[in-house]
Amino acid sequence: MSLRGVLVGCGFFARNHMNGWADAAGAEIVAVCDLDPAKADDFAGTFGARAYTDAAAMLAAERPDFVDVATTVGSHRTLVTLAARHARLVICQKPFAETLADARAMVAACEEAGALLLVHENFRWQRPFRALHAALPRIGTPHFLRLSFRHRFDVYANQPYLAEVDDLALTDVGLHLFDVARFLVGDIASVHCRAQRLNPRVTGEDAFLASCGHVSGAVTSIECSFYTTRHPEPFPETLAVVEGETGTLALGRDYRLTLETADGVETIDAEPPLPAWGERPWHAVQDSVRALEAHAVEVLEGRADPQPSGAHNLETLAVTLAAIRSARTGQAVDVADLLREG
Ligand SMILES: NC(=O)c1ccc[n+]([C@@H]2O[C@H](COP(=O)([O-])OP(=O)(O)OC[C@H]3O[C@@H](n4cnc5c(N)ncnc54)[C@H](O)[C@@H]3O)[C@@H](O)[C@H]2O)c1
């Protein structure tokens, strides 16, 4: 029998969630909910689900196996805490939380209720990063990572609320990049960060440069900008270089992944597949949502642990908050100190 899921928040990005769930083997979304009845009805009609405007009423009536929370960050604590009491798995979109207190409350609520918690960190589920991760043993112990996400795509057209987010680049995309850095190279111990406000149309800082020291001794440089003109427009691609003891892996434009060693250069296939409902150049993002949802089914079936779990993502939030503090003070910030502060 198919696993029964419900989705909360029928907004811009949730359409990818719903298309992805329609592709998921072994799971289906039986009901959707939005405060705006027109949005809930639209999703329900398009995807064949029941519509609600109240999450508590939906959860009580539907008794789902899993809840997919696709709302913006301000509602996460309330919705995740509620969902934990009604389902075996809660999936929460990023940013998981704005504060460590909120993140801790959600992790605790899920633990107390015996529910699993998976954060929708889909960058680490992008095909190029999976291919890069799989190839890491071929370059020996990594000592350097560079991630570059620089573009001028008008993200404010689909997500107008972003124009008023403080620390925009760090909280919208920075946390994805910190998660990828942890996925590829391991935990981050300290961060030094400089942020810039480049686009006069937005309130928050829309670019940053972060230097991370990993527990392993490796270092990572992260360069992110929402105000960089290139042609062709690179959005939504992330470029990456990982240097290891015996080689370098480089992820370039058009998902070209190369392995460079003393013996020469090998090209590795990292092109994301195009979902039947997808469209270039969004396919890397669309396929990553589908991959994360396939992973959620594995988690529900007991075949995998959440990647990343709420507890893991709480530490990625701490890295992000450390970067914000560093950008304000000009000092490097120790992630463990920040976690100890509460
Ligand atoms: N992982 C990614 O690649 C990616 C990409 C884009 C957006 N996002 C994230 O997805 C989240 C949603 O972004 P969006 O652009 O789709 O936002 P949106 O504003 O378009 O959609 C959010 C929807 O949630 C609804 N909602 C809010 N509180 C609710 C509640 N208590 N009950 C029911 N419905 C509620 C709103 O009415 C709205 O329709 C954000 O946190 C954003 O950062 C992630």
Q: Which domains does the chain have, with CATH numbers?
A: 3-120+294-308 (3.40.50.720), 124-271+316-335 (3.30.360.10)
Gap from CA of 105 to ligand 1 centroid (Å): 20
Q: Locate the ligand 1 atom nearest the alpha carbon of residue 74 and give its number.
A: 28
Q: What is the spatial distance between Cα 296 and Cα 300, in angstroms, rounded to a whole number?
A: 6
Amino acid at position 241, single letter: V
CB contact set of 166 (below 8 Å; sequence gap of 6+): 203, 204, 205
Cα 228 to Cα 214: distance, rounded to the nearest angstrom: 28
State the distance from the centre of ligand 1 to the C-alpha of 70, rounded, in angstroms: 5
- What is the DSSP secondary-structure string of 112-131? HHT-EEEEE--GGGSHHHHH
C-beta contacts of 101-104 below 8 A and 24+ residues apart: 101/342, 102/76, 102/77, 103/310, 103/313, 103/314, 103/317, 104/314
Whole-number Å distance, alpha carbon 119 to ligand 1 midpoint, is 14
Q: Residue 284: helix, strand or coil by DSSP?
A: helix
Q: What local confidence, expressed as pLDDT, does residue 1 receive?
A: 78
Given this model, what pLDDT does residue 67 score? 99
Any ligand 1 atom below 6 A from CB of 120: yes
Please state the separation of Cα 119 from the chain's center in Å.
Answer: 7
Q: Ligand 1 center to residue 73 CA distance, Å? A: 8
CA trace torsion 100, 102, 108, 112 (10° rounding): 180
The verdict on the CB of residue 238 being under 6 Å from ligand 1 is: no
CA of 184 to the centre of ligand 1 (A): 28
Ligand 1 contact, 33 CB (< 6 A) = yes
- State which of 32, 41, 71, 91 you would mutate to test the pocket of ligand 1, scoring each by most atoms of that ligand within 8 A of its C-beta: 71
Q: In terms of C-beta distances under 8 Å and separation of at least 24 residues, what long-range contacts does 269-274 make, across chains too? A: 269/131, 270/127, 270/128, 270/131, 270/132, 271/127, 272/126, 272/127, 272/128, 273/127
Interatomic CA distance for residues 152 and 201, integer angstroms: 13
Angle subtended at Cα 249 by Cα 245 and Cα 255, rounded to the nearest 5 degrees: 170
Q: Are 238 and 226 in contact (CB under 8 A)?
A: no
Cβ of 58 closer than 6 Å to ligand 1, yes or no, is: no
Q: Whose CA is nearest to atom 19 of ligand 1?
A: 11
Residue to substitute in 39, 72, 178 for testing ligand 1 pocket (most ligand atoms within 8 angstroms of CB): 72
Radius of gyration for the alpha carbons in the chain, expressed in angstroms and rounded: 20
Of 91, 83, 71, 84, whose CA–CA distance to 11 is shortest? 71
Any ligand 1 atom below 6 A from CB of 216:
no
Q: Any idea which residue has 């509460």 for tokens?
A: 342
Cα(283)–Cα(293) distance, rounded to whole angstroms?
Answer: 15
User: Going by CA atoms, what residue is nearest to atom 25 of ligand 1?
Assistant: 9
Residue closest via CA to ligand 1's atom 18 equals 11
What token pair was written down for 91?
């999936």
Angle formed by the axes of helices 127-135 and 283-300, to 10°? Answer: 70
Measured in Å, residue 243 CA sits from the centre of ligand 1 at: 36
The secondary element (H helix, E strand) that includes residue 69 is strand 66-69
Question: pLDDT in tens for each of the 342 residues of the chain?
Answer: 799 999 999 999 999 999 999 999 999 999 999 999 999 999 999 999 999 999 999 999 999 999 999 999 999 999 999 999 999 999 999 999 999 999 999 999 999 999 999 999 999 999 999 999 999 999 999 999 999 999 999 999 999 999 999 999 999 999 999 999 999 999 999 999 999 999 999 999 999 999 999 999 999 999 999 999 999 999 999 999 999 999 999 999 999 999 999 999 999 999 999 999 999 999 999 999 999 999 999 999 999 999 999 999 999 999 999 999 999 999 999 999 999 997
d(CA 40, CA 46): 10
Burial of 331 (0-12, 13-18, 19+ CB in 10 A): exposed
What local confidence, expressed as pLDDT, does residue 342 receive?
74
Instruction: Count CB neighbours of 105 within 10 A.
Output: 17
